[in-house]
Amino acid sequence: MMGAGLAPSPPFQIQITPVLCPSPRLRVLAFLPPPLPSGCSPGSRPARVSIRILPPDRQGLRVYKRFALVRATTPVASFLAIARHQQPRPSGARRGERARLPPPFSLEDQRLRLPDGPGPGWPRGAGGRCPVGPENSSMSQCAFPEDAAESELPDGCGLLHTSRKYLKLKNFEEEIRAHRDLDGFLDRASIILNETATSLDDVLRAMLVRLVHKPDNTESDCNLDLLMAVLFTDAGTPMEGKVHLLSDTIQGVTATVTGVQYQQSWLCIICTSKSLLKRHVCISRLVRPQNWGENCCEVRFVILVLAPPKMKSTKTATEVGRTFATMFLDITFRQKLLKTRTEEEFKEALVHQRQLLTMMDQGLTPSLKHYSISSIYIPKSHQPLQQKDFFPVGKGIREDFARRFPVYPLDFTDGIIGKNKAVGKFITTTLFLYFACLLPTIAFGSLNDEITYGAIDVQKTIAGQSIGSLLYALFSGQPLVVLLTTAPLALYTHVIRGICDDYDLDFNTFYAWTGLWNSFFLALYALFNFSLIMSLFKRSTEEIIALFISMTFVLDAVKGMVKIFQKYYGTSHGNHNADHISVLSLLGLGTSLNTSFHTALNTSLLANPPELTSVSSRSAEHSSRETAVLSLLIMLGTLWLSYTLYQFKKSPYLHPYMREILSDCALPISVLTFSVISSYGFQEINMSKFRYNPSERLFKIAEMQSLSLGAIGSAMGLGFLLSMLFFIEQNLVAALANAPENRLVKGTAYHWDLLLVAIINTGLSLFGMPWIHAAYPHSPLHVRALAVVEERVENGHIYETIVNVWETRLTTLGASILVGFSLLLLPLPLQWIPKPVLYGLFLYIALTSIDANQLFERMALLLKDQASYPPTHYIRRVPQRKIHYFTGLQVLQLLLLCAFGMSPLPYMKMIFPLIMMVMIPIRYKLLPRIIEAKYLDAMDAEH
């Protein structure tokens, strides 16, 4: 058969790794070697080729034919080798005894010749396997479909999508569903011991029959054939029966240096079917190991999990399968199951394994330590505060300096110098912060001008805001915190004004002494490390206070609009003289403690000041119903445009960079847009604007020596209550800004920041300017504006996570400077901003701050279907009833805050900080008597 003039090719050796075929007793191994060596050309005589087979799994594989004669007809030849599966020794057999196998397959003709190209003899099948049977026992028709696809598409070819996902081990200590899944299985146990079937189809059909014929079965319309079809990939495909593979499985794996090793002795099969009404679990133990293909060479246990498609995120087929897969991951447990003889012993082994997995206090079991040490969350025990923690004096401040000072230069260079620049994000965040601070500052100044009879006006409020926030941006330990004057501070200013009027005291002097005492107590709190007390505030307590503040923004914006309708909608002409009502009575009609100015502005500043507004005859005709309706439309329009632009980053329109810019500039764009619409589009309709009276002297120091000792002592009492408000607000807002989900990396400085706030407010008190402290929700929104956010999907739920945050001082510096330059814009054009635009701003700030509030999310669960519950950590770890109990108790605490914070009595509002401190013993003493402590800790955890 040798061609004329052709020299024989030398023998050569090839090392190859086989691809295993899913046959229990016979493996046809197809090999694709490298190009033939030089001298071995097509048409040469038969050469002896030494084939060394390197099995991927040495256990259970034995080479039968070591040498084969192959005729090289193409530069790339196909080699065949025959190997058989070496069955493991059956249980009870003697050493060396193995299962009997039929005689190995033998080649009738060892001279194998491949066809020169695709033709009638080319195989038609899936997966590139060479069929073995009577019709092709000569092995002369074996080739690869890749070569055939170049000329024609073989019948039965298709696409198979394979997806692999890592699943965390079920935490039996914390995840409540782990125990409930096992309890549900034990109550309706479907266990098959000593299954004799050898094929996968027969085993699964036997398991389905067991599930259907159970006495308590409720699946009357269950179709076994339909369920069998759903388990495999060939259900409903045009090439049905050709690619018969399992659709969804869970297997144990171990990552090694050489790759991933599969645990091949057990297999968990999960399936979702619309024909099912409830979840089902069946476990089958095979008599002897079976070879069902790649990574399933010696299966002894099969776990079948069936579930309806619409289930709670913790009750899906995957979650149930994860429970049993975590248990079967332990090889010691599987060996113990092999020794069980009855179903009761099998159940006892499952219960014992659950007990081992829940023994977290004694450490992990040795058999699971290798697999689960990185997957199980172990909560840290809370160490109670001791007296030594508050000493030595100034320890916390020194630690803050040591932590923050080394990275101080980076606060100015990050995002500006280097590869990763964020100049555009800094500019948009600065604009957002400017409008978010300027508008409340103007409104506060107008309110203070009214209640202090001009002693603290808009000019002083803007100047104090600019100077104070500028110093804080330069020297604070956490520059992402935003300082602002708030509603409690306006309330204290109102009380001080009333005391001065009753006892004929100088307002500026008494105000200055109150501020100095406040700063003195704050300095003591900082030096003696009192900020450590804030560690007692759990996440649930912080979110109650945060939701209370957000809720008051919404309520006061609504009340303001109601008052506008009461004034204008029911009358034909606006009565401007009726607007000048005593401020003392207005603040007693429901001014919210934590809203900066809303209700008082709604009542005292509803109409334009007569000295700043020229009302013509035509505007008087339109100052009734048109004003009310237009105010409502302006407020809702500001809210709609700002929130729509804020969510625009999630839309598919425009470039991602443009979407991010529009989202960051949502607040400035909406405020400017509707201010222009209100001022120019409807000039004939009279809209209310803020009060403005220019100051005679902007910087004037109070005469401190004019007060008596008794008046100074009274100021000390007010200063102490004020310092408690400062202490709680400053530390609480800083804690919300430094929350773990924000992923800040430069550290905290609670003690130093508290001392810096005391120093700043000392100067503001002496010059008669409004006090400032950390503001919510401005500070968390500032962090969010500087964050890089990604959307992730978990069990069909989309949620946002912060990747990193640009921790910079430039945004607060820029916003503070812009607020200072705004003094040049008084009274116009700032007075062109109508009050309904401010109401829309309040609604926007409240709405965006509620997004990440866990209390609000759990309140929304009461209105959701269980299948729509997000897969959060508390849903996994806490029973649903306990979650609703805890939410109800939080709502009661929220109502307690509202009772004091929204009281019509000003002096009740002054003790509001004490009510916030009372929430600490409620959380530690009262709630554990109602709900178990482990569930409380799980809901207070971050993840």
Token pair of 546, please? 């945060």
| Chain position carrying tokens 């085993």 | 203
Q: Compute CA 146 distance to the chain's CA centroid, rounded to the nearest angstrom.
A: 45
Q: How far is CA 744 from CA 407, 430, 474, in A?
A: 13, 19, 19
Asked if 687 and 635 count as a contact pair (C-beta separation under 8 A), the reply is no
Asked if 767 and 774 count as a contact pair (C-beta separation under 8 A), the reply is no
Helix, strand, or coil (residue 856)? helix
Spatial CA neighbour of 809 closest among 481, 372, 511: 481
Token pair of 308, please? 């309806």
CA–CA dist 663, 916 (Å, integer): 35
> Which residues are CB-neighbours of 320 under 8 A, at least 6 positions away?
181, 270, 279, 281, 305, 307
Does 829 sit behind a cis peptide bond, omega within 30 degrees of 0 on the bond before it? yes
Token pair of 544, please? 């109650």
Token pair of 299, please? 């299966």
CA–CA dist 826, 819 (Å, integer): 12
Token pair of 183, please? 């309890």
CA–CA dist 712, 587 (Å, integer): 26
Q: How far is CA 836 from CA 30, 252, 451, 594, 595, in A?
A: 77, 61, 22, 20, 16
Helix, strand, or coil (residue 52)? strand
CA–CA dist 5, 789 (Å, integer): 72
Q: What is the pTM of this model?
A: 0.69
Helix, strand, or coil (residue 798)? strand
Residue ranges of E strands in 44-176: 47-53, 61-63, 67-70, 79-85
CB atoms within 10 A of CB 335: 11
Strand-strand pairing, 67-70 and 13-16? unpaired
| Chain position carrying tokens 């926030």 | 469
The predicted structure's pLDDT at residue 491:
80
The predicted structure's pLDDT at residue 851:
78
Token pair of 206, please? 């036997």
In a 13 Å sphere around the CA of 119, the CA atoms on its Cβ side amount to: 7
Residue ranges of E strands in 20-112: 26-31, 47-53, 61-63, 67-70, 79-85
CA–CA dist 901, 897 (Å, integer): 6
Token pair of 825, please? 């814009």
Beta bridge partners of 768: none
Q: How far is CA 868 from CA 114, 161, 322, 792, 872, in A?
A: 58, 27, 20, 16, 12
Q: SS3 for 6-40, per residue?
A: CCCCCCCEEEECCCCCCCCCEEEEEECCCCCCCCC
CA–CA dist 604, 324 (Å, integer): 66
Spatial CA neighbour of 604 closest among 617, 586, 616, 621: 586
CA–CA dist 60, 291 (Å, integer): 10
Asked if 657 and 674 count as a contact pair (C-beta separation under 8 A), the reply is no
CA–CA dist 375, 749 (Å, integer): 32
Beta bridge partners of 773: 484
| Chain position carrying tokens 């500006």 | 416
- Note the pLDDT tens digit of each residue in 496-537: 888 888 888 899 999 999 999 999 999 999 999 888 888 888
Beta bridge partners of 284: 192, 302
CB atoms within 10 A of CB 860: 11
Tell me which H or E stretch contains 545. Answer: helix 539-568
Tell me which H or E stretch contains 271. Answer: strand 266-272
- Low pLDDT (below 70) residues in the chain: 1-157, 220-221, 235-243, 360-387, 570-623, 695, 794-797, 942-943
Q: At what angle do helices 625-646 and 539-568 cross, to 10 degrees?
A: 150
For residue 796, give the amino acid letter: G
Token pair of 91, please? 């249980």
